[in-house]
Amino acid sequence: MKKQKIWLITGASRGFGLDITKKVLESGDKVIATVRKDAKGLEEHKDNKDLYIVEMDVTDEAKVKKAVRRGITHFWGIDVVVNNAGYGLLAAIEEGTDAEVKRNYEVNVFGTLNVIRAVLPFMRKQGSGHIINISSLGGLGASIGWGLYGSTKFAIEGITESLALELAPLGIKATVVAPGFFRTNFLDESSLTRSEQVIEDYADTVGKMRGFATKANYNQPGDPAKLADAFIKLASSENPPVHLPLGKDAIKRFRDKVAAFEKNIEEWLEVIAGTDLQ
């Protein structure tokens, strides 16, 4: 008989969070679903005894700890954490204001860290668990207009790499998932902000990216249902990867970056290797 896992999924009322929550419930597992305010997306599942919905703002560490404790107490345990809560920022590096960038980091990076710090004492005590952090195509390589948002996802990539090394001796796993473009509401105003400042000199670069984002909305190649299936497989793996890109576009971004990096190394090898003490 399948052992029921207990998942905690942040940002569970829409987008990837909602798709993963539905698939986890279908699989027979339990879900602690956190929402910032609106749980309408989960309305049809609210009577499911395997679903526990709790309000939680990932940027408020005290409230995160309280919400996590409530969820774990409700189901008497925790096995898988999916750090999904976050949003995009489309802007040239120069266009993004200090406040806009800090807010993006507060949610995408520090919010993820708040959840990690809240769940690890329980996982360490039981000697098991799996933390899955969601990165992005933008965390694998840079793109015009996505540098600020992408930098938050680069941070998540690095945090997860170290986390996996630190937690392995404790019986806990860590994976960072980098989805490409999937057909969700990510490019809607509900998940994507655009800098208030628009500098005309970037019209041919970032300006075109803004136009692309508008046209690409709900025309992305990735299937969210298949992404959710991938999360089920990932959580069931005895030996999960530290990095898991999802989508052909994510694979291409990763391989293109590695190839460019290798080319730079070859071209500058004499300088690179010539800096050590003799």
The DSSP bridge partners found for residue 7 are: 31, 80
Catalytic hit among 30, 136, 149, 202: 149
Query: What is d(CA 106, CA 177) in angstroms, rounded to the nearest whole number?
Result: 20
Chain segment 141-186, per-residue pLDDT in tens: 888 999 999 999 999 999 999 999 999 999 999 999 999 876 655 5
Which residues, other chains included, contact 203 with Cβ-Cβ below 8 Å and sequence gap of 6+?
A: none
Is the pLDDT reported for residue 8 higher than 70?
yes
Q: Which domain covers residue 167, as residue numbers?
A: 6-249
Cα torsion 182, 184, 189, 192: sign: negative
Residue 265 included in any domain: no
Is the pLDDT reported for residue 194 higher than 90?
no
In which band, very low, low, confident or very high, does the pLDDT at 205 lie, cut at 50, 70 and 90? very high
Residue 272 included in any domain: no
Directed axis angle between helix 224-236 and helix 15-27, to 10°?
50
CA angle (224, 33, 78) in 5-degree steps: 105
Higher pLDDT, 196 or 46: 196
Query: What is d(CA 132, CA 235) in angstroms, rounded to the nearest whole number?
Result: 9
Residue 273 included in any domain: no
User: What is the phi/psi pair of residue 8, to 5°?
Assistant: -120, 120
CATH code for the domain of 17: 3.40.50.720
Q: Rounded mean pLDDT of 192-220?
A: 84
Is the pLDDT reported for residue 218 higher than 70?
no
Residue 153 is a catalytic residue: yes
Count of Cβ atoms closer than 10 Å to residue 274 Cβ: 9
Higher pLDDT, 190 or 194: 194
Residue 54 tokens read as 């709790």
Q: Rounded mean pLDDT of 225-251?
A: 94
Catalytic hit among 5, 22, 23, 135: 135
Residue 236 is a catalytic residue: no
Residue 264 included in any domain: no
In which band, very low, low, confident or very high, does the pLDDT at 1 lie, cut at 50, 70 and 90? low
Is the pLDDT reported for residue 77 higher than 80?
yes
Is the pLDDT reported for residue 192 higher than 90?
no
Residue 157 included in any domain: yes
Query: What is d(CA 22, CA 14) in angstroms, rounded to the nearest whole number?
Result: 11
Catalytic hit among 13, 153, 195, 202: 153
Residue 270 included in any domain: no
Per-residue pLDDT, 184: 55
Residue 5 is a catalytic residue: no
Per-residue pLDDT, 183: 62
Is the pLDDT reported for residue 2 higher than 60?
yes
Residue 19 included in any domain: yes
- Mean pLDDT, the chain, rounded, equals 91
Residue 269 included in any domain: no
Higher pLDDT, 111 or 211: 111
Q: What is the largest CA-CA distance in the chain?
A: 70
Closest CA to 6 of 59, 55, 49, 42: 49
The DSSP bridge partners found for residue 30 are: 6
Give the residue carrying structure tokens 């959840």: 115
Chain segment 87-137, per-residue pLDDT in tens: 999 999 999 999 999 999 999 999 999 999 999 999 999 999 999 999 998
Chain segment 34-74, per-residue pLDDT in tens: 998 877 778 788 889 999 999 999 999 999 999 999 999 99
Per-residue pLDDT, 122: 97
The DSSP bridge partners found for residue 35 are: 55
The tally of domains found in the chain comes to 1
Instruction: Return the H-helix or E-strand segment holding 186.
Output: none
Label the pairing between strands 172-179 and 80-83.
unpaired
Residue 246 tokens read as 């999802």
Q: Output Rg (C-alpha) for the chain, integer angstroms.
A: 20
3-class secondary-structure state, position 138 = helix
Residue 65 tokens read as 């700890």
Query: What is d(CA 90, CA 106) in angstroms, rounded to the nearest whole number?
Result: 16
Closest CA to 87 of 20, 160, 167, 14: 14
